[in-house]
Amino acid sequence: MAETVKLFVNGREVEVEAGKNLIDALRVVGIEIPHFCYHPALGADGNCRMCLVGIEDGRPPLVPACKTPAQPGMKVLLDDQKIRKIQRDIMELELINHPVDCPVCDQAGECRLQDYYMEYDLQDSRMRVPQVTKGKRMDFGCGVVHDQERCVLCARCVRFTRQITKTGELGIVNRSDQARVTIFPGRPLNNRYALNIVDICPVGAMTSRDFRFKQRVWFLQKDEGICHGCSTGCAIYIDHHREKNGDDVIYRYRARTNMQVNGYFICDAGRLSYKRENENRQDLTLVDGVVVDFEQGIAAALEKMNKARRPLLLVSPDATLEQMWAIKRIATFYGATLSGYSDAYRIDDDGDDFLISDDKAANRYSLELLEIDRDRESFQAALAHADLLVNFDNDLFFSPINESLQRLLGEQDRISVCSHQLPVFSGSSVILPCASPSEYGGSIINRHGVLQRFRRAVRRNADPRDILEITHLLGGAISSAERAWPGIRQSVPVLRSVEPEQIPVEGLLLNNSEERDVGP
Amino acid sequence: MRDRSQLQAAGQPFTFDAERNDEFERLCTRYPIRESMIMPALWLAQEQQGWISAEVIEYIAERLDTYPAKVYELATFYTMYHLRPVGTYHICVCRTLSCYLRDKQEIVDFITDEIGIKPGQVSEDGRFSLEEVECLGHCGTAPVVQINGEFHEEMNVEKLKAVLAHLD
Ligand code: SF4
Ligand code: SF4
Ligand code: FES
Ligand code: FES
């Protein structure tokens, strides 16, 4: 921790980081100060007044915690009767015109208004005049649906569009009880990060069209994950749920704070990429187009691999470091050529200077570290020469289909280990289903050289196997992600001292010197 | 307070005339923070066109390199900006505390009954429009009515009748 200061909260001494405001500083030591408008990424706005705290001997005696830096010796009052009264009064003010529609509100269960009401207020309404009514279900664009009546006018969403995306689509119009968040007529939200607004809105005023009414949040199991949408590797929460007798279904991804990778936000495309995990999955094992048991599929693959004289193994740039290592090992075992060719995972000029990267592969960096060939020419030459292609979930047609490649593939005997039904895998003589990123764990390294580890989040009824397990069944030596590490450490100098279990949550920056240019 | 967020389109793009354009450029040098120019710019546009149309907001946002939503915020916050064409005589009745306590509602009700317009409306013949506004800064002589910029203090229905009778 940086420089610290000692101060008192309700008479108890605590030591917190210097320079931070009271909300952030005290949160670290487990003291929550209620607030709506403050958000660490957006700064203090001081408009909601929910965070007022008392300062004994202070001048003035009441201050907004979001705008008050922690000072040595400060005596902060939080549990005082006077402060409680203020919090109750603010709650009452917020609730004057708020429709109490928690039973049908998507935010129920993660709504600050609801939480604070339960904690501080619990009063019946004293309002005897009709409530002010405002717009409902307003389509703000980019899949954001706004309910003006539920809004507490904290302006977080407005500040997000002005400070973070610099697109400024939102504003608060009118004044007093008519004030409302809106777009300029005819100019809806139009940026690639808009759904973060749903995350940062402290109440149910901003909801996601995609998620609305699909699931109650308290039924969701929230696991930590890493987005595989591009080489930035944003930290996410994977929210999923298994109905009784049903399959485990992912309902949404949300941004998870990681200051080393993505800060507080993720892009909309990455957020909606959870659909990929649910849809179009390859569940069946096929040999020559006939459905067989998984074991039979493995046996068929083994037979082909043992017979092949010039096998070519293809790795996906989305695979984990451990999976890549395991595939590299069986390539040696079979005397096979190994390629990580994956030009298709790149979309030129799609990236921006915030999070989105041109490179849509999650772990291309590791291909380079493991010295796996990524060259197009040598891949095509090897393909023309090979008598068997074993494709480990590499979608060569990720971006528009390359016809010469397609022709070459069509002539080749192929085994596909794949998580999804994609054109690139069709026509394979053996198809073995495998797990998709939410269903396995491992390590990936983002484009800036940050090594992050993630754990398995989802278990399905027809539980697909991790590629790593499949390589083991195909004769590979590596039987688990842990077993991959001694070999990885030995062959990759920058990983020599890495203990996978000790990689911090925010990841490990491998190379603080220059940014490495990792080409395909 | 009325909802003022229903913008109207004038149906043609807005640009400052030569005189307003000069004034706009002159004022720009006085405002180091560009967005502080939103209010004077709105005022100039209103002087020229008589009211603030959707096109005015877009034009000003473009001139000041800011977001239309931001200009929209200010135009709807301040009642001095007319978001639709007003009548020949624009009557502003203060609705804030001092005036409220001293029976501004009687004045508003009288106008509604006599002229047939509610706050935010224009009479059919286009002679009168009515707006309830925030504190006009004459609380000591409440209630206060402003007609085309001219203040009438310590108003009541009788006095208003007389004032209206003197308008041509
Ligand atoms: S919509 Fe949500 S984030 Fe935006 S001002 Fe209202 S409460 Fe705050
Ligand atoms: S920027 Fe890339 S890694 Fe981050 S959420 Fe978007 S697609 Fe996923
Ligand atoms: S969080 Fe401090 S005033 Fe809103
Ligand atoms: S309250 Fe009406 S002039 Fe101030």
- The string of pLDDT tens digits covering residues A385-431 is 999 999 999 999 998 878 888 888 988 999 999 999 999 999 999 99
Contact criterion met (CB < 8 Å) for A182 and B5? yes
The ipTM of this complex is 0.92
Among A196, A355, A444, A448, residue to substitute to test ligand 2 (most atoms within 8 Å of Cβ): A355
Inter-chain residue contact B5 with A174, CB threshold 8 Å:
yes
How many angstroms separate the alpha carbon of residue B141 from the centre of ligand 4? 8
Single-letter residue type at A55: I
Query: Tell me, what's the pLDDT at A404?
Result: 84
Q: Which atom of ligand 1 is nearest to the CA of A156?
A: 3
Tokens of A299: 């046996």
| Burial class of residue B158 (count of CB atoms within 10 Å of its CB; 0-12, 13-18, 19+) | exposed
The pLDDT tens digits for A439-491 are: 999 999 999 999 999 999 999 998 899 999 999 999 999 999 999 999 999 99
Of residues A55, A116, A60, the one with CA closest to residue A87: A116
User: Could you identify the atom of ligand 3 that is nearest to the CA of residue A49?
Assistant: 3
Q: How confident is the model at residue A61 (pLDDT cuts 50, 70, 90)?
A: confident
Tell me the mean pLDDT in the region A26-55: 96
The helix (H) or strand (E) run that includes residue A145 is: strand A144-146
B residues 22..61 contacting A (CB < 8 A): 54, 57-58
Q: Which of B73, B84, B134 to mutate to test the interface with A (most CBs of A within 10 A)?
A: B73
Contacts with A187 from chain B: Cβ below 8 Å? 68-69
CA distance A506 to A520: 26
C-beta A152 within 6 A of ligand 3? no
Arithmetic mean of pLDDT over chain A:
94
Do A173 and B54 count as a contact with CB atoms less than 8 A apart? Answer: no
- Choose among A231, A233, A268: nearest CA to A253: A268
Q: How would you label A472-504 residue by residue, b for 16+ Cβ within 10 Å and e otherwise? A: bbbebebeebeebbebbeeebeebeebebeeee
pLDDT tens, residue by residue, A245-272: 899 999 999 999 999 999 999 999 999 9
Of A471, A465, A445, A453, the C-alpha closest to A325 is A471
Contact between B70 and A177 using a beta-carbon 8 Å cutoff: no
Give me the mean pLDDT over the B103-130 stretch. 96
> Which atom of ligand 1 approaches the CA of A37 most closely?
8
Q: Is the separation of the CB atoms in A347 and A469 below 8 Å?
A: no
Return the number of other C-beta atoms located less than 10 Å from residue A148's C-beta. Answer: 20
**Residue B144 is encoded by which pair of tokens?**
């206060």
| Gap from CA of A518 to ligand 2 centroid (Å) | 18
What is the arithmetic mean of pLDDT over A223-236? 98
Nearest to A268 by CA among A188, A198, A183, A348: A198
Q: Is the pLDDT of residue A60 over 90?
A: no
What pLDDT, on a 0 to 100 scale, did the predictor assign at position A403? 86
Query: Is residue A371 pLDDT above 60, yes or no?
Result: yes
What is the arithmetic mean of pLDDT over B147-161? 96
CB contact under 8 A, B1 and A175: yes
Chain A hits for B73, Cβ within 8 Å? 171-173
pLDDT tens-digit profile of A112-150?
999 999 988 888 888 888 899 999 999 999 999 999 999
Asked if A174's CB is within 8 angstroms of B69's CB, the reply is no
Is there an atom of ligand 3 within 6 Å of A66 CB? yes
Query: Where residue A515 falls among pLDDT bands split at 50, 70, 90?
Result: very low
Record: contact B76-A184, CB cut-off 8 A: no
Q: Mean pLDDT across chain B, nearest whole number?
A: 96
Instruction: Write down the pLDDT at residue B79.
Output: 93
Residues of chain A neighbouring B70 (CB-CB closer than 8 A): 162, 168, 171
Interface contact B73, partner A, CB < 8 A: yes
Distances (CA, A) of A39 to A46, A154, A197: 11, 10, 12
Select from A424, A363, A436 the least CA-distant residue to A398.
A424
According to the 3-state scheme, what is the secondary structure of chain B?
A: CCCCCCCCCCCCCCCCCHHHHHHHHHHHCCCCCHHHHHHHHHHHHHHHHCCCCHHHHHHHHHHCCCCHHHHHHHHHHCCCCCCCCCCCEEEEEECCHHHHHCCHHHHHHHHHHHHCCCCCCECCCCCEEEEEECCCCCHHHCCCEEECCEEECCCCHHHHHHHHHHCC
Q: What is the mean pLDDT of residues B147-159?
A: 96
What is the predicted pLDDT for the residue at A356? 98
Confidence check: pLDDT of A296 > 60: yes
Which pTM was predicted? 0.94
A301-342 tens-digit pLDDT:
999 999 999 999 999 999 999 999 999 999 999 999 999 999
Distance from CA of A185 to the nearest CA of B (A): 8
Ligand 3 atom with the shortest distance to the CA of A154: 4
Average pLDDT over residues B11-30: 97
Q: What is the pLDDT of residue A519?
A: 46
Which segments of A282-362 does DSSP mark as H helices, in order?
A: 294-307, 321-334
- Whether B16 shows a pLDDT value over 60: the answer reads yes
